[in-house]
Amino acid sequence: MTIPILMIGAFARVFLTFPIECYQKFLENTFSGAFLSMFTFLHDATLGIVSLYITLSISIYYLRTKNMSHNYSLAGGMTAVATFLILSGVKIDDIDIEVFGVKGMFTAIICSVVATRLFVMIIKNVKLPFRLYADGVDLEFNDAIIALIPSAAIVIIFALFNYFICEIFDVDSFQEFYVHIVSMIFEGRERNFISGFMFVVISGILWFFGIFGSTALEDVSEKIFEPALVHNMWLVNERGLEPTEIITKEFINVFVFQGGCGTALCLLIAIFIFSKRKLNRNLAKISTIPMIFNINEILTFGYPIIFNLYLLAPFIVVPVVAYCMAYFAMDLGLVPLITNEVETTVPVIFSGYQATGSLYGSLLQVAIILIGVLIYLPFIRLYDNAKNRNEAIRMKELTDILKKAEEEKEDVELIRIPGSIGGLAKCLGADIDSAIEHKEIKLHYQLQYDNDYNCIGAETLLRYNHPVHGFIYPPLIIKLAEEIGVLSQLERYLFMEAAKDYKVIKAQTKKKCKISVNVTVATILEDDFISFLKKLKKDYEILDGEMCIEITEQMAIKSDVDFEKALGEVKKIGFLIAIDDFSMGSTSIKYLQKNQFDLVKLDGSIVKEMMVNERSRDIISSIVYLAHSLNFSVLAEYVESEEQIEMLKKVGCNYYQGYHFSKAVNFDSFLDEMKK
């Protein structure tokens, strides 16, 4: 939820700190520093207070997964923010603005998780002895009164906790307390290989828990490592001697934390090369430009790194390996020691050269990246496999939810389901959108036959083989496309694919047939849909009656005067119209009265039951009678045996579709059948 804010802040930081002198002068001098002020505002309003955004987003999202109402979610979120401000030691007359940024991340996570859990527990177990009913008192006011009890209790608990921490440990806040605890590890330590090694390891561990390690250890860095560069520069510039200090602040930033903490540039490259999950690669694309400038928040939050056990080991090991490689390369004299200051946003390769004044510094960075990518490789695959296993389970749950809704004829919004199921629905929706754009959704055809076993046409059926989830239940594709607003785009794409395939069939077989395409009422009612059909007919040389639009009976029932007018326009330009799943629920005879439909497709369930249910046979017989009277054709779906065909013949049905004749086949098989 915070990625948009993080992206804005990350790019603002890039524009603020772009390490070219003439660019910095341009920022300072153009329009009296207007650009500099604008980028500063953007950075400070986003990354500068990101801990507040994190607190609010985690708490609201958690409360929604617990099925809390909208009002309670907002109340719980604001309560969590209040607890964050308490534990951060915020006072009106003395505000350390840095705690709102990345420095306060750990406190933000603690508050959002603990406070919202307490909120849910209290609000579900404490019963108010009253509700307010009076003029001007609405539901929101009542919810606010009810939320007062858990909010007040939680704020008081956190205030007492912070008070005791301050009194016992002589600090100003919990935030200061945990930073002080971390810093104590380095108390009295000198600058050497061991202290640098500990700095790198502890920084990675802290990051795993949502604490910005380099920020939490900033005091340590300033006291132990920063003076080393000053000493080197003094030896070189003032005394004309060789530098002596290997471990400096620039040494850590330039050679260990390339791309940010965890040597994250190696992770980025490894994702691009080895991850098979499209979402991860998309995230990597978004993260690339900021990470060139060593800003890695988008990747570390979005992938994510925090609390991810699969990436804990490489996130610590890769910086340690980088540290050892750089240390011994300089200790052995293979790479010059660092004698120049380097801005943290200077890109890799350039920063290595700038720090050491030698190409060997750049080559060392390249070697570290190559080794780091190889270390990340097995862990990325392990994480991908674990996510795929989990998502396979969630995929089944998501599909089952839709199937149950279909059986019970209930509407459901999949992307609004709370928790991981809704998250998967959103991700899958994004994949479907991308698949439409890249033409990865394919058409299969279920062939249709007459009494003489001649192939008279086919119904188009979409198929999507997802790179991770495999075959996706087609109604799920339709449903998600509808929810994310790309259903019309999908239907038009499938229509064009069907027209293109049919043109090939006619050219190679010199035969005509009828191709049916499923289209929803919403698409038909779009202003330019008739124009789309006219152009399609012209571009692919489609004759009248060669393509048929199928609409389910349930959708037809929801239609109105505008829909009937649109159907009339469709028929005028030469497309047939079929009503699918006829007799499925509330049968709409009135649509047959108006002679809008050329074909009625019997619902599969009634065709299946006709062998054992006489009433089903009577219903089919009545529909066929109507067909003869009102001049439309009837096609039976789900025909799976010779016995069904014989019985359908007796009641006057002449057209069939089902596994007895053909399963859904790809275009090549359809073409072969037409050639026969």
**Mean pLDDT, residues 151-162:** 95
What does the pLDDT read at residue 153? 93
**Mean pLDDT, residues 177-197:** 82
Q: Is residue 586 over pLDDT 50?
A: no
The whole-angstrom distance between residue 451's C-alpha and the CA centroid of its chain comes to 50
Do residue 343 and residue 282 come from a single domain?
A: yes
Whether residue 11 contacts residue 290, with contact meaning beta carbons closer than 8 Å, is answered with: yes
Contacts of 29 (CB under 8 A, 6+ apart): none
**Phi, psi of 665, rounded to the nearest 5 degrees:** -125, 160
- Is 476 among the domain residues? yes
For 450, the domain range is 441-675
Do residue 631 and residue 661 come from a single domain?
A: yes
Domain end among 387, 419, 449: 387
Q: pLDDT tens across 42-64, in order? A: 999 998 898 999 899 999 988 88
Do residue 92 and residue 205 come from a single domain?
A: no
Whole-number Å distance between alpha carbons of 15 and 442:
43
Residues in the chain: 676
- Is 409 among the domain residues? no
Q: Is residue 556 over pLDDT 90?
A: no
Instruction: Give the total number of structural domains in the chain.
Output: 3
**Mean pLDDT, residues 171-183:** 83
Do residue 342 and residue 455 come from a single domain?
A: no
Q: Which residue has the tokens 């709370």?
A: 418
**Mean pLDDT, residues 10-18:** 83
Which domain CATH number covers 568? 3.20.20.450
- Is 7 among the domain residues? no
Measured CA to CA in angstroms, residue 321 lies from 132, 158, 237, 259, 650 at distances of 64, 41, 32, 15, 80
**Mean pLDDT, residues 20-28:** 88
3-state secondary structure at position 230 = helix
- Is 32 among the domain residues? no
pLDDT, greater one: 560 or 595: 560
Instruction: Point out the least confidently predicted range of 59-63, 369-373, 379-383, 584-588.
Output: 584-588
pLDDT, greater one: 190 or 479: 479
Helix (H), strand (E) at residue 656 = strand 655-657
- Is 190 among the domain residues? yes
Do residue 75 and residue 127 come from a single domain?
A: yes
- Is 57 among the domain residues? yes
Q: Is residue 92 over pLDDT 80?
A: no
3-state secondary structure at position 192 = coil
Domain end among 181, 202, 228: 181
**Mean pLDDT, residues 645-656:** 89
Do residue 152 and residue 195 come from a single domain?
A: no
List the beta bridge partners of residue 550: 518, 578
**Mean pLDDT, residues 488-511:** 92
List the beta bridge partners of residue 470: 466
Do residue 167 and residue 205 come from a single domain?
A: no
b (16+ CB within 10 A) / e for 206-241: bbbebbbbbbbbbebbeebbeebbeebbebbeeeee
Whole-number Å distance between alpha carbons of 12 and 6:
10
Whole-number Å distance between alpha carbons of 461 and 663:
11
What does the pLDDT read at residue 585? 46
Do residue 280 and residue 225 come from a single domain?
A: yes
- The structure tokens listed for 557 are 């029932």
Do residue 251 and residue 290 come from a single domain?
A: yes
- Is 226 among the domain residues? yes
Whole-number Å distance between alpha carbons of 475 and 231:
69
Do residue 613 and residue 642 come from a single domain?
A: yes
Domain end among 122, 156, 181: 181
List the beta bridge partners of residue 633: 599
Do residue 131 and residue 208 come from a single domain?
A: no
E strands, 403-533, where?
A: 442-450, 455-463, 465-466, 470-471, 514-518
Do residue 540 and residue 637 come from a single domain?
A: yes
Mean of the per-residue pLDDT values of the chain: 87
Instruction: Point out the least confidently predicted range of 79-93, 107-121, 623-637.
Output: 623-637
What does the pLDDT read at residue 283? 84
- Is 393 among the domain residues? no
The whole-angstrom distance between residue 559's C-alpha and the CA centroid of its chain comes to 34
**Mean pLDDT, residues 433-454:** 91
